[in-house]
Amino acid sequence: MSDLDRNRAEALMQAAGMDGLAIFQPEAFRYATELDAGVAAMWRRAGACIALVPADKRLRTGAVAADHAVQFLDLSTRNVDVLRQRIWIDYLVLPPALGEDPFPELARQYAAQGLGGARPESFDRAEAFRLLGELLDTRGLLSATIGCDLEFVPAADFAALQEALPNVRFIDGSDVLRRLRRCSRSLAGAGCRTIAAAISAIRSAQAAAAKNGPSFPPAIGSLSCPA
């Protein structure tokens, strides 16, 4: 389960007049989906990975992810709908023995596993945006107002995104994403402080037990998200 609070996301997006949030930054993609952004994200371009978080919390989060990044994941256990895009890397499952001349068998396995055809040099931005459109369409958002993390998205990629999905009104959703992640970081920081307090209490109890007999540390408080 991702750290993204869908209840809070719904409230923030509604207040900002957004029907959904499209996330392109690799680190924020992982925050929203708990999926690895993959090696194609190293170019820091929009489209290597995309998360779509609808404002309506009843609609599932969607993701466009590299086939290489999700090759060995059991996606049925994830609370996210994943559409795969091809990048330049593929995986081929080989038989135990290939013989003296492995190339004919390699060709057969490529055909049998559906791995034929050209792959992009890194990733196909146009295909990634098309898949985002598919996610929007299945959620009834193909003519909606969608926020983007424009603090990350390069200007050229944003222009291509608008051209690829002309019926979508894209606006800057960076502030909404920042506020969502701030809540997560606050909880993480509070969690670290709570753990530190627990360790300190346990050590104090151990020291007291060694000197005066057993005692128990005080209860540690619960965590809550700031407004």
Residue 95 domain flag: yes
Mean of pLDDT values over 204-217:
66
Residue 133 domain flag: yes
Residue 82 domain flag: yes
Q: Is 50 exposed, middle or buried (0-12, 13-18, 19+ CB in 10 A)?
A: buried
Could you tell me the CATH number of the domain that includes residue 47? 3.40.350.10
Instruction: Tally the domains of the chain.
Output: 1
Query: pLDDT band at residue 215, thresholds of 50, 70 and 90?
Result: low
Residue 219 domain flag: no
Q: Is 171 exposed, middle or buried (0-12, 13-18, 19+ CB in 10 A)?
A: middle
Mean of pLDDT values over 161-174:
97
Residue 24 domain flag: yes
Query: pLDDT band at residue 150, thresholds of 50, 70 and 90?
Result: very high
57-107 pLDDT, tens digit per residue, is: 999 999 999 988 887 777 777 789 999 999 998 877 787 777 778 888 888
Domain that holds residue 58: 6-183
- This prediction has a pTM of 0.75
Residue 119 domain flag: yes
Whether 141 and 108 have beta carbons less than 8 Å apart is answered as no
Lowest mean pLDDT among 50-54, 154-158, 196-200: 196-200
SS3 64: strand
Residue 77 domain flag: yes
Measuring CA to CA, which residue among 13, 56, 5 is closest to residue 31?
Answer: 5
Residue 207 domain flag: no
